[in-house]
Amino acid sequence: MLQDVYVSKLVAFSPDKERWMKAKIYRPIGTAYIIERVYRLVKKGKKASLFQIRWLDSQFQSAVEHISVGVVQLGIKNYVALTRVKNPDWRILVRPDPTDEIDFEEDDSDCEEEVLQAFDPSELLPTSLAEVEAIKSMRFDPNGEVEGPSYLYQHSDGSAAT
């Protein structure tokens, strides 16, 4: 049967180019194409149609469209055209330019590493939780105040109030 030829085929439509696609639902797509799969559905009555399409993109799965044979044929034609487009893939886009040569004879003094030196703190810091808990010389005063740096938070009139 005619319907069996088109069932399960992939079709592509752009809401910008198709008047039957509801602008409100497909607004996020703009001029891009979205891919759908064709299902058989015989719908009789005023809006008779042979097919139903369901979108592969989950954002539009609730938007089911009922279409005719001519629209299915156009969608298949769009899908075939999209899959045959010779756009550069990511491998071509990230491939280095063969004409862009790098001169390795340049002065590399700015790339030389300095001699690594071990950090030598003037006072030894505690290395375990037990050592931290054993420190007796620290005192926390919740009401204490420390004067902030004079160069921070100053307005043009010299005040530091915010």
The pLDDT tens digits for 10-32 are 888 888 888 888 777 878 877 88
Taking CA atoms, 144 is separated from 48, 103, 136, 137, 151, in Å, by 83, 61, 18, 16, 21
Total number of domains constituting the chain: 1
CB proximity list for 4: less than 8 A, separation 6 or greater:
40
The pLDDT tens digits for 26-77 are 788 778 888 888 887 666 666 667 788 887 766 777 777 888 888 889 999 9
Is 96 part of a structural domain of the chain? no
**Better-predicted residue by pLDDT, 76 or 152:** 76
How far apart CA 162 and CA 156 sit, in angstroms, is: 12
Q: How confident is the model at residue 124 (pLDDT cuts 50, 70, 90)?
A: confident
The DSSP 8-state label assigned to residue 152 in this structure reads S
How far apart CA 72 and CA 99 sit, in angstroms, is: 47
Q: Helix H segments across the chain?
A: 2-6, 69-83, 90-94, 129-133
Is 159 part of a structural domain of the chain? no
Check whether 143 has a pLDDT greater than 70. yes
Average pLDDT score over residue span 83-104: 69
**Better-predicted residue by pLDDT, 150 or 127:** 127
pLDDT of amino acid 39: 83
Give me the domain span that covers residue 76. Answer: 2-83
